[in-house]
Amino acid sequence: MLPPDAPCPCGQPLAYARCCRRWHAGDTQLQAPDAEHLMRSRYSAFVLGLHDYLLATWHASTRPAALEPDPPGLKWLGLEVKRHQRQDEHHATVEFVARSKLQGRAQRLHELSRFVREEGRWYYVDGDHR
């Protein structure tokens, strides 16, 4: 876990404690208010290796049983949210680019992710790579 005053990995100009940490901490009263905030908190969870959080925010219909550990040497470099679009009260998409480096090679994940809201909580469903 990052120190509370460290910059948040999600790219927002806030300290981690004022940004994604509140959702990572597991306070059930605090829910990501929209799909973009959930996407950002999931990116930060990937950076920090918070697999329990990733699984908890993944919709049950598509959630894997477990997540593989990151390959040794993987370094996350940044997140750019290109677009957040709410289709209706319960469905949204987020287009993003996540950059990383593995064994000296730059990598780029460009995805259009689908999210669903159930009982007041947003969940990641799946995504199409671009």
Predicted local confidence at residue 39, as pLDDT: 97
* Domain residue limits, the chain: 16-129
Using CA atoms, how far apart are residues 100 and 31, in angstroms rounded to an integer? 27
For the domain covering 16-129, report its CATH number. 3.10.450.50
Q: What is the mean pLDDT of residues 40-63?
A: 96
Predicted local confidence at residue 25, as pLDDT: 87
Q: Is the pLDDT of residue 110 over 70?
A: yes
Q: What is the pTM of this model?
A: 0.94
Using CA atoms, how far apart are residues 28 and 68, in angstroms rounded to an integer? 26
- Is residue 91 a contact partner of residue 103, using CB atoms and an 8 Å limit? no
Predicted local confidence at residue 29, as pLDDT: 62
